[in-house]
Chain A
C-alpha cells in the first residue's frame, strides 16, 4: 500500500469534516476521491499532504508514518485547483523550484526541467511568465513542478475545477495518459462523477466526512453500496421499492413481462438520440425512463399512452432509501 489512512478525524469548529476515515491506496494507481462539495474529500487530501493537521488518526506514506511529518518532509507533489503558480518566476524557474531547494547540481536541474517541460508540452514556453499562459497550460506547469521532485505520491485537489469544459476534458484524457507513462501513485479530488469514472483506476466515494464506498468505476456503477453512491454516480429513478437507472427500465406497450407496473406517459422529451419518458404509474410513482429514439418509434410512444415498466435484467438496483419527514 502506498498510502494508508486510518481512524482519521477532523473537525472545523462544529463542522465534522472527517469522521473516522480509513482508506488504503495501492501503489502506482490513479485514485479519485469523489463526493459532493463540502463532503471532506479535499480535507482528506490536504491531511495526506500535511497541509492540514488531523485531530486524530494516522497517515502512512510508503510505509513511513507521516502523521507528524511537516509538509516539507513528506515528499508529496501537490497540485492546487487555482494552480498556485509562482507569479514572478518563469515557467522553467517554477518547475526548477523544488530541485533548487534540494540543491541539485545546475546541469541536472536544467536537464530535468527540460524533460518535464517536454512531458507536459510546454517546452516552447520555458521562458514565459505564468501570466502569459492559459489556465490549462498553467495547470500543466503546476503538474510538472510537482513531478520535478519525484514525489512518492502525487495529490491533485480539483485540478481541473477552474477550467472550462472543453479544456477540462482534454486535460482529463491527458492526465490518464501521463499517469500511464509516469506510474506515480496519484490521488485526485473531484466532484464530477464523469471525470472520476473516466480517469480513475479506483474511486473512493466520500460524503459527509465518511467513506461511502471504495471500488473500481465498474464496481461502483454496477454494484453501488447504497442509494447515495448510486445517485451520485448518475441519474436515478424509483420504480416500486427500488432505485435504479432510467436506462435500466424496460418499457413495453403491452403487459409482456411478468411483474410489469402499469402507467401512463405524462411527458416525452427527445434529446438527440435518446428519448426521456416520464411515466405516472398506477402506484403513484413518477418514473423516468430513457429509451433510444428507434425503440420509442417502434413502440409508437406518445403522451397519454398506457405502458408497462419492468426493471431490465441485470440492472443495478438498490432498495429505495426511505427518507424521514
Chain B
C-alpha cells in the first residue's frame, strides 16, 4: 500500500482563510481605478445622494414621511407582493428550466424565445398587453383592473425570466452521472432532487430570486395602466415616489427610495445566507 500512500495521499496544503494578498500590478491597478470610478459615478454617488436627500430633514422627518399611512400602505403592498411573486418564481422557475433543459418536445425553441419576451418588451407595452387581456374589456372574462391582483400579475409577468434564465445554464452543466450514482445507491427521484440537484441549483435560484424581488420592488411601467394606482389599494412605491416628486416633495421621495434600498439589500443578504445553507446541506 506504501506506493499509493506516498504518491497519492500527500496531504494537500490546507487552504487558509487569511486576508487575500493584493495581486495588483500597475495595469490592473489602473483597471481597478477605472472600474471604481465608473461604479461610483453610476451607482455609489447617486445612491449616496438619495440617502443624503432623505436625511436632510433629520431622522424624525424621515420616519414621519415613511410612516404616513398612504406611504406605509404602498411600501407594504410593494414588498409583500414582490415577496409573493418571488416565492412563485422560486417554484416555477426551476420547473420551467427543468422542462427546457431535460425534455424534448415540439415547439421547445419557440418556448425558449417566449420566455425572454418579458425581458425584451418595454414595460409600458407589457402594461398595455396586460390591460387589454385582464382589463375592463378582458376577452378572457378576467377583470383585475384597479385591484390588487393586477399588481401581482404585473410583477409576475416581468419577473418570469429571472429564475428560469439563472437556473437553466447550471442545470445544463449538471452531471447526469451524479444522479445515476445517487440512484444506484438507492436514492429515489425525490431524494436525489432534494439532496443532490437542489444544492447545486441553490446559488442560481437565489440569484434569480434576488433579481426577481428587486425588479418587482422597482416595477412601474407594466402596472400603472392596469392597477389604477389607487391610494391604500393598488398604489405601489414607485408610483408613490413619482407623485411625491410631482408635489415637490423630493425629500419624501428620497425617504421612500432609501427604505426600498435597505429592504432590497436585506433581501439580497438573506437570500445569500439561505443559498449557502442549502448548498452546504449534505
Q: Which residues of A contact B (CB under 8 A)?
A: 49-51, 70-78, 80, 82-90, 93, 97-98, 101-102, 121-122, 124-125, 132, 134, 136-137, 142, 145-146, 148-149, 166-167, 170-171, 173-174, 177
Among A49, A84, A88, A149, which residue has its beta carbon within 8 angstroms of that of B175? A84
Cβ distance B73 to chain A, nearest Cβ, rounded Å: 42
Asked whether B180 lies within 8 Å of A149 as measured between CB atoms, the reply is no
Cβ distance B242 to chain A, nearest Cβ, rounded Å: 45
Interface extent on B, as a size class? 20 to 34
B interface: dominant SS: helix
Complex: chain B residue closest to A51, CB-CB: B180
Among B183, B195, B281, which residue has its beta carbon within 8 angstroms of that of A72? B183
Asked whether A72 lies within 8 Å of B188 as measured between CB atoms, the reply is yes
Most chain B beta-carbon neighbours within 10 Å: one of A51, A72, A174: A72
B184 at the interface (CB under 8 A from A): yes
Cβ distance B105 to chain A, nearest Cβ, rounded Å: 19
Asked whether A149 lies within 8 Å of B185 as measured between CB atoms, the reply is yes
**Which 6 residue pairs of A and B lie closest in terms of their CB atoms, listed nearest first?**
A89-B282, A98-B185, A84-B177, A84-B181, A93-B282, A78-B184
Most chain B beta-carbon neighbours within 10 Å: one of A71, A83, A146: A71
Contact flag A72-B180 (CB < 8 Å), given A84-B175, A87-B200, A132-B12: no
Among A51, A80, A97, A174, which residue has its beta carbon within 8 angstroms of that of B4? A174
Most chain B beta-carbon neighbours within 10 Å: one of A73, A86, A134, A149: A86
**Listed A/B pairs (12) with beta-carbon separation below 8 Å:** A49-B184, A51-B184, A72-B183, A75-B186, A76-B184, A86-B181, A88-B199, A88-B280, A97-B182, A101-B185, A167-B8, A177-B1
Asked whether A121 lies within 8 Å of B5 as measured between CB atoms, the reply is yes
Residues of A within 8 Å of B180, CB to CB, are 51, 71, 78, 80, 84
Residues of B within 8 Å of A121, CB to CB, are 1, 4-5, 8-9
Residues of B within 8 Å of A122, CB to CB, are 9
B191 at the interface (CB under 8 A from A): yes
Complex: chain B residue closest to A79, CB-CB: B181
Bound Cα distance A298, B186 (Å)? 64
Q: Contact string, B157-200, partner A, CB cutoff 8 A, digits 1/0?
A: 00000000000000000010110111111111001000110011
Cβ distance A19 to chain B, nearest Cβ, rounded Å: 24
Cβ distance B143 to chain A, nearest Cβ, rounded Å: 47
**Given A77-B184, A86-B282, A88-B279, 11 other A-B contacts at CB below 8 A?**
A49-B184, A72-B184, A86-B178, A93-B282, A97-B182, A121-B1, A121-B4, A121-B8, A145-B185, A170-B8, A174-B4
Most chain A beta-carbon neighbours within 10 Å: one of B7, B11, B186, B199: B186
B18 at the interface (CB under 8 A from A): no
Bound Cα distance A74, B177 (Å)? 17
Cβ distance B200 to chain A, nearest Cβ, rounded Å: 7
Bound Cα distance A121, B5 (Å)? 7
Asked whether B11 lies within 8 Å of A72 as measured between CB atoms, the reply is no
Cβ distance B243 to chain A, nearest Cβ, rounded Å: 48
Bound Cα distance A142, B282 (Å)? 16
Among A88, A89, A124, A177, which residue has its beta carbon within 8 angstroms of that of B9? A124
Asked whether A85 lies within 8 Å of B4 as measured between CB atoms, the reply is no
Complex: chain A residue closest to B15, CB-CB: A132
Complex: chain A residue closest to B13, CB-CB: A132
Bound Cα distance A90, B282 (Å)? 8
Complex: chain A residue closest to B281, CB-CB: A88
